[in-house]
């Protein structure tokens, strides 16, 4: 996980490039990776994510777990926490690739 939010809010993520690559996902656990991750406790809201390039090319370091994933943005708290999420470029080509996902 390049950037993980557990608590708080009022955050702007603007004009960044995040690139995750390599055979680092666990083959034994339901491991996932994300360029940006928002845990369910990140309830402060007012998150703004604009004009970023997010690439996740992570793969498993052995026989991959069926539940592991490569995400652009992993969201556990719900999409309502964002005031703006726009103009981002996603290149998600890792294992079980997923774009933004609300859990």
Buried b (16+ CB within 10 A) or exposed e, 25-47: beeeeebbbbbbbbeeebeeeeb
Q: Choose between 91 and 95: higher pLDDT.
A: 91
Query: Number of helices (H) and strands (E), helices first, in the chain?
Result: 0, 10
Q: pTM to 2 decimals?
A: 0.85
pLDDT tens for 22-55 read 988 877 777 788 999 888 777 778 899 999 999 9
Instruction: Average the pLDDT over each of 29-33, 45-49, 59-63, 97-101 and give the range with the smallest value.
Output: 97-101
Q: Mean of the pLDDT values across residues 79-90?
A: 90
Task: Check: CB of residue 97 under 8 Å from CB of residue 62.
Answer: no
Closest alpha carbon to 7 in 34, 32, 38: 38
pLDDT at 74 over 80: yes
């Amino acid at each position: 996980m390049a950037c993980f939010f557990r608590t708080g809010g009022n955050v702007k993520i603007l004009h960044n490039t995040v690139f995750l690559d390599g055979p680092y996902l666990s083959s034994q656990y339901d491991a996932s990776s994300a360029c940006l991750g928002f845990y369910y406790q990140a309830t402060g809201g007012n998150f703004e994510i604009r004009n970023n390039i997010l690439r996740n090319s992570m793969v498993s370091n052995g026989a991959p777990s069926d539940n592991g994933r490569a995400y652009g943005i992993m969201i556990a708290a719900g999409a309502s926490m964002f005031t703006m999420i726009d103009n981002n470029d996603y290149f998600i080509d890792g294992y079980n690739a997923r774009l933004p996902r609300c859990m």
